[in-house]
Amino acid sequence: MALVNGPLMSMDASGTFKDCLTFSIWKGRNYVRTWCRPTNPKTDAQMTQRQLLHDAVEAWHALYSGTIDTWNVAARDVYPPISGFNYYTMQYLLQGAAPTIPAVAPKKAKTIHGRSSYGVGIV
């Protein structure tokens, strides 16, 4: 990824040029990368994951405000910080329907590529 100052002689640029280069801004910095066609193979495993994520979002929206507040408060102890919605969704995918808040908040190592366990029963 190449960082640029004023790509294409402008202050900011975003978008794809001739299916070749993609200009964008990330965290306030302009950059250019080669364009790649997004894939969507729609395999059975992928469709199953999408349905699980859809079910998790629906379950979040079905919660009453007191439970949502509880998840938001519990998410404050997670490192790196995430929202209550993200914490609920993560636990839904790990535990299944009607997840419970873990006794110990998951903490991810402060390494860039390090592995860590997030949630229930993963080592």
Kindly report, residue by residue over 28-75, the tens digit of the pLDDT.
777 888 888 888 889 999 999 999 999 999 999 999 989 999 999 999
pLDDT at 100 (0 to 100) = 93
Kindly report, residue by residue over 82-97, the tens digit of the pLDDT.
999 999 999 999 998 8
Sign, CA dihedral 82-85-88-92, equals: negative
pLDDT at 6 (0 to 100) = 59
Segments making up each domain of the chain, as ranges = 2-34, 41-123
Beta partners for residue 2, in sequence order: 32
pLDDT at 71 (0 to 100) = 95
Kindly report, residue by residue over 8-41, the tens digit of the pLDDT.
555 677 788 888 888 888 777 778 888 888 888 8
pLDDT at 123 (0 to 100) = 45
